[in-house]
Amino acid sequence: MGNDYWSVPTDVAFDMLSAPDELTVGQLVDDVESVREFVERPIDEPTAIWHELAHIVGVLRGIEEPDRRSI
């Protein structure tokens, strides 16, 4: 399993009328670190939840990928 992966920005991922014209690269190591920092923050600290969810999705896909290869 690699560290880098393709990511489709959410604003175009749900637009079924056109294909994405660009992809971004995510990094699993960055996602794990970001999730770790998020869960260690004080509960009352302001958070951009959409940003944190994007990192959680990256971690979940990182877990999914080796399982898919084993099928």
As a whole number of angstroms, the distance between CA 62 and CA 5 comes to: 9
pLDDT above 90 coverage of the chain, percent: 69
Segment among 8-12, 15-19, 39-43, 45-49 with least mean pLDDT: 8-12
- pLDDT band of residue 70 (cuts 50, 70, 90) is confident
**Res 12: pLDDT:** 87
Q: What percent of the chain has pLDDT over 70?
A: 99
Per-residue pLDDT, averaged over 8-31, amounts to 90
For 36, the token pair is 């770790």
